[in-house]
Structure 1
């Protein structure tokens, strides 16, 4: 199982993000950038990847609704060329409230939208004419429920998902994907007081459960909060949980560090 690292780009300068990515090479095979505010994630991935060798850079995820498939394909292939074929394109529809309030775009029938979008996007990603040496980038779909996982299985190279335990992967995700990538983004923290860190995460991440897509996914797993999906404990406990994820089919664990960053990254490196 590969190890990735989530890098938060909000309010940060390019040189700072490049330095963090360079440091991450000791631990991670790939660095993922999310779409929030500020940086465009595809552009940022291209800029970082062009400056930092020997690590993949990807989006986890880029929003589909605001971008025409042709425009996104062109940006993704440009990033692939700029990084020497080390770009990973993660896409997803986002959530109803942000799409409708921020972009003024109807969120009606997101699964139908995603199916149509990927059907158009895939052949565009195959067309690398005009970009010597570029290859089609890996395409991952943000998917949690059975319908979206089915689309990921059919039209993408795999899924990139969040707020999921090893049991959730084994029971809800892996059975719906056939020889596909399962990329899991998870809060990971090496600590001697897991209960306190989990309570801290629960307080800080509480509003996340109010998003309907995440609420349903947690309910399917019988979990109360997104903090219940975090991997927390001493070095031995964290190593055991990471092995469990590999055993149930996770091909790549993308770490969002919780708590002590230096200690957590050291444990991952070991």
Structure 2
């Protein structure tokens, strides 16, 4: 059975803004609260603050950016969240864009896959209580976390294309995708993950998590507008255009509106009446997804928090 979860659909500036979404995990069948990387209210602090406010729920980071943290600090922070919430954590990481790497590190990663391999391998060892010794390409250190009985932290990898999916199949506990339609997951991502598993001799597949932009239809609001409100920047980013093109979207004309319409057509953005939304989300289950994260960013931007919460509540009621 596929689980459903909730993404905080905005960049929080105050803790209390996030609590109604944490409440959905308490009061609906949603299994986890997720937040992506934020440069304002940092996700680790958001979740610990929510726990202190009485909303101790399972959480996921989808995804935080590797250039911001040494892997020892990343492991310590993720375990701290597990201790504070009292629940297991999925700590997802990604390398970020080359320009982001350049700005923070002085140069982009020469081999992002090799850096991601070192980063996740070191984190997994630290979280398992091991003494980790690692030497390059990005980090050289020796360390061990202080012993503590904490809920498990699964280490996830943000995945968009086959190379990272194969690596996730080798070493990650979770595969985390964004804006990837069911056909692309079924035909590209899941087989690549399984290739990585075979290469590493793994028998248990990592948990596959899909962040899905979603919203109920509203009179006078074209699906294209919801898609643009949710993912305008992604529809212009080369790596997302490459992925959507492989999934059957015509991305060659440079028209962001056409790309948004194509994303809706292939199910990368899910909208419609409640029955239609539930049926289209089920395509992700059929593609092999273990956890669907409902991303109502577009609804929140266009109509506000109450409408986003209303959509989430209705979709969860129908889907679970």
TM-score of the two chains, using structure 2 as the length reference: 0.76
CA deviation after TM superposition for structure 1 residue 161, in Å: 0.4
User: What is the match of residue 67 of structure 1?
Assistant: 69
Q: Deviations over 1:43-98 (max 9, x none)?
A: 32233245445631121111112211111111111111111133221111111223
Gaps of 5+ in 2: 131-144, 195-204, 252-258, 300-306
1:104-143 correspondence runs (5 A): 104-127=106-129, 130=146, 132-143=148-159
- Is this contact kept in 2: 1:49–1:86, CA < 8 A? no
Q: Distance in 1 between matches of 2:227 and 2:49?
A: 31
Q: Which moved more, 1:135-144 or 1:219-228?
A: 219-228
SS at match of 2:215: strand
- 2:35 matched residue in structure 1: 33
- Normalised to the residue count of structure 1, the TM-score between the two structures is 0.89
- Partners of 1:121 and 1:87 in 2: how far apart? 13
Contact 2:212–2:270, Cα closer than 8 Å, also in 1: yes
Is 1:213 the counterpart of 2:239? The answer is: yes
Q: 2: CA distance between counterparts of 1:166 and 1:204?
A: 18
Q: Counterparts of 1:9 and 1:207 in 2: how far apart (Å)?
A: 14
Is residue 268 of structure 1 aligned with residue 268 of structure 2? no
Q: Deviations over 1:124-172 (max 9, x none)?
A: 1112964543143011100111110111111111211011111111101
Stretch moving more, 109-118 or 13-22: 13-22
Pick closer, same or farther for the CA change 1:127–1:175 going to 2, 3 Å. same
> What's the C-alpha RMSD, in Å, of the aligned pairs?
2.4
What secondary structure does 1:222 align onto? coil
Pairing 1:254–2:270 present: no
| Aligned ranges 1:1-270 → 2 under 5 Å | 1-8=2-9, 10-27=11-28, 28-53=30-55, 55-101=57-103, 104-127=106-129, 130=146, 132-178=148-194, 179-191=205-217, 196-202=222-228, 205-223=231-249, 224=251, 225=259, 227-228=263-264, 229-257=268-296, 258-259=298-299, 260-261=307-308, 262-270=310-318
SS of residue paired to 1:5: strand
Task: Decide whether aligned partners of structure 1 residues 189 and 91 sit closer, same or farther in structure 2, where only a CA change above 3 A counts.
Answer: same
Describe the shift of the 1:35–1:197 C-alpha distance in structure 2 as closer, same or farther (beyond 3 A). Answer: same
**Comparing 34-43 with 123-132, which one deviates more in the overlay?**
123-132
**Matched residue of 2:13: which SS?**
coil
- Farther-moved stretch of structure 1 (145-154 vs 93-102): 93-102
For 1:131 and 1:9, the matched residues in 2 are separated by: 35
Distance 1:131 1:3 in 2: 32
Relative to structure 1, the CA distance from residue 132 to residue 241 in structure 2 (aligned partners, 3 Å threshold; closer, same or farther) is same
Structure of greater Rg:
2
In 2, the alpha carbon distance for the partners of 1:76 and 1:265 equals 28
Residues 193 and 233 in structure 1, CA contact (< 8 A), matched pair in contact too: no
